[in-house]
């Protein structure tokens, strides 16, 4: 059953070196479910995507980090790609953005190397999660309980390992986002 995310505002935070299918496929799944997706990059402008080690297409960011506020979004998607994730993890504004989303209890979907930002933001301690296998030590050393599973849901987070896992990731991401948004709406009404 397809989830209804109509009216849900999702921030997709990425930069040059993003793994193309980890960006485009989840974005398409969110849009197909009715979500309003905003592509955000620290610098704005054009983003160079990769397919593994090779340059692919460029994509335009809708906004720069300076142009957005975490409170304007209901959820966050962090695609992978080693170059993308390595650049984002040292960006203080990106760290603050992710922290604010998490502290508000909003859902976060992260895949592949994407968890590096969450590690650098100090958010992974005591979390159940997965990632690309090469960064499992980073997650474990930061206090996460790492699993080699195609998808892991823990509270307001869903994580996945790699492009092969995108179908399971998209399914669990849209499900989690729909559940969390409905729960938040009910709290507003009460």
Q: Which residues are catalytic?
A: 113
CA nearest neighbour of 136 among 149, 124, 146: 146
What is the rounded CA–CA span in Å between residue 56 and residue 31? 22
Residue 153 pairs in a beta bridge with 158
Q: Could you tell me which residues are beta bridge partners of residue 145? A: 128
Q: Which of 100, 86, 48, 79 is nearest to 169 (CA)?
A: 79
């Amino acid at each position: 059953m397809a989830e209804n995310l109509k009216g849900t505002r999702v921030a997709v935070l990425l930069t040059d070196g993003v793994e193309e299918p980890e960006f485009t496929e989840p974005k398409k799944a969110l849009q197909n479910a009715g979500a309003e997706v905003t592509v955000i990059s620290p610098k704005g402008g054009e983003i160079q995507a990769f397919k593994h080690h090779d340059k692919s297409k460029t994509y335009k960011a809708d906004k720069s980090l300076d142009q957005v506020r975490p409170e304007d979004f209901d959820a966050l998607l962090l695609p992978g790609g080693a170059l993308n994730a390595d650049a984002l993890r040292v960006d203080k504004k990106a760290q603050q953005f992710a922290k604010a989303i998490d502290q508000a209890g909003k859902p976060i979907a992260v895949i592949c190397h994407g968890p590096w930002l969450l590690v650098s933001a100090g958010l992974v301690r005591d979390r159940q999660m997965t990632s690309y296998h090469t960064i499992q030590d980073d997650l474990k050393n930061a206090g996460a309980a790492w699993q080699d599973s195609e998808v892991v849901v823990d509270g307001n987070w869903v994580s996945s390992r790699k492009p092969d896992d995108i179908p399971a990731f998209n399914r669990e991401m849209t499900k989690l986002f729909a559940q969390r948004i409905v729960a938040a709406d009910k709290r507003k009404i009460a």
